[in-house]
Amino acid sequence: MAALTECEVEIVPMRGGKDAILKNLLQEVESMKQQ
């Protein structure tokens, strides 16, 4: 999962910008907490 997240962080800035990255990371953290 860590590798996937790193790839997303590399790719997302081209499309959505930093706001998209922050939202994505927050969702990742919340999903990890629930598991």
Does the structure show a pLDDT above 80 at 11?
no
**CA–CA distance, 32 with 10 (Å, rounded to integer):** 20
pTM metric for this prediction: 0.44
Q: 26: domain range?
A: 2-34
List, in order, residues 6 or more apart from 8 with CB less than 8 Å away: 21, 24
**CA–CA distance, 31 with 35 (Å, rounded to integer):** 7
Q: How many separate domains does the chain show?
A: 1
- What pLDDT does 13 receive? 54
Give pLDDT tens digits for 19-31.
Answer: 777 888 899 999 9
